[in-house]
Amino acid sequence: MRYFIPAFFGALFLLLLALWLPGLKYPIVSDTAFYSFLGESMWKDFRFELLGVPYAKHLPFHAFVSYPFVWLFGYSLGMKVSTLVAGYLTLVAAFLLLQETMSRRIAVIAVVFLAIHHAFVLMMHLGSADLLFTALFLFSLYGYIKAKDDVRFYALAFIAAGLSCVTRYNGVPLFGLYAVHTLLYRREDIRTVYYALPALAGGGIFCAWLFRNWSIFGDPMHTEYTSELSTNGLGFFHQIYSNTLYYLDPFHNILPVLFVLSLWGMVRFGKQYAFLLCAMLAAWALTSFWWVQAMRFAFPGFVLLMGFAIAGGEDIWLKIVSKSTVFVRRICIVFIVITLCITHLGALCLYSYGECNAMFDKTIGIVLKDLGLTSEGFYAWHKARVFLRDHAQKIAPLYVSGSVTAIIWNTEQVAGKSVPIIHENTCGSYRITQHPREEDDVLYTTTESPHTSLVLQRCP
């Protein structure tokens, strides 16, 4: 058994690598592209700017730690290697936390399910900050729990919390959680240097970011997220209600079987693991009223929910199933394995892999062909991009929205050597779109949903 953990984490990394590789065919877009440029600005110019303009939306830590990978491997591959590493660290942190609070068996099973979770795999493909934030959040919780017996772990708790706050603002509630818990249960620790210095250092990390905003924009709380929320949000309470309904859908958290088990786990062990319940609420505090509904924003809480699910399942097995006859136990095992395979592998196929989703549509097809999933859009776009690269009859540029994306795609020759990328929509250029206009010449349309076309924009 002493070789089990090294072998387990070695196998886990190979599993992650296999799940991550299919996502390499897609270039980075949107937020991930911004992070790659912001990191370049930090390392080269010692400023947090996007194309020479001070930036006020995304936070700096993911950009900072990702740039060495960008420097080594290029924009797209570098950002995706960064999230592969962050994904692996997330699983390590989840294992340490659940092993410390629950048991090694629960930690091992939970980590396996996390590794094949459909949102987790998609986040590895996208290259954004979500997995780095999750890893820091979990390491911080682990450090705080360990500090009960060894106050030196407060350094891990507060430094990781501070870094999580400059990765996503969702880390800020951790400081409130720790403050309340310390005042209630560990008041004597406040007087020690092992608590005070890390707490000041962790808070100082976030305060340094606030000072940067104040010095540049005149407001320490200045962020583009504020205007985005006021423009797109439904209102505070209405948004909380809408988000609650969204995230209570088992297909938007840890899937039906494990979600039901997690409810029992929280009922059965909620008092024993009350701190973890509070940590879940802290993880979801800002997500509860954010206008964008996506599992990646709630994922740190899903890790803890997964722990309760496995604990609940173990409790039911020990109290009921294990006391049944051998035949009943075998029936239960077969049913559980089949149900989990259908739900988890099915979700992984449909949600995380566009090609698997397309194959499912063509062969089984019992769900809507266009579920509005990110992976579906990426795969359909990829098919149109491949057609352009291999069959372009006219040398013309490809129009994409956004100057950062255009620069990266030009650098990486996303559409081939003969097709430059532009970010100004001009006639005579190619465009990949789900909504061709009447004046466009449609050259190719995917059979996969969402139907995506390669068009040549006709000049008048």
pLDDT of residue 428: 86
Residues in Cβ contact with 396 at an 8 Å cutoff, skipping those fewer than 6 apart: 419, 428, 429, 430, 456
pLDDT of residue 451: 93
pLDDT of residue 310: 97
Buried b (16+ CB within 10 A) or exposed e, 193-211: eebeebbeebeebbeebee
pLDDT of residue 187: 94
- CA-to-CA dists, residue 323 to 314, 319, 320, 328, angstroms: 13, 7, 6, 10
pLDDT of residue 457: 86
Nearest to 252 by CA among 379, 451, 117: 117
pLDDT of residue 426: 84
Q: Structure tokens of 420?
A: 């430059």
pLDDT of residue 391: 83
pLDDT of residue 327: 85
pLDDT along the chain (460 residues), means of 10: 89 97 94 96 95 93 97 97 98 98 96 97 96 98 97 98 98 97 95 95 97 94 90 94 96 96 96 97 96 96 98 92 83 90 94 93 85 91 92 84 92 90 88 90 92 88
Q: Is 149 helix (H, G, I), strand (E, B) or coil?
A: coil
β-pair type (49-50, 53-54): antiparallel
pLDDT of residue 333: 87
Q: How far apart are the first and last CA of the chain?
A: 73
pLDDT of residue 322: 79
pLDDT of residue 427: 84
pLDDT of residue 460: 73
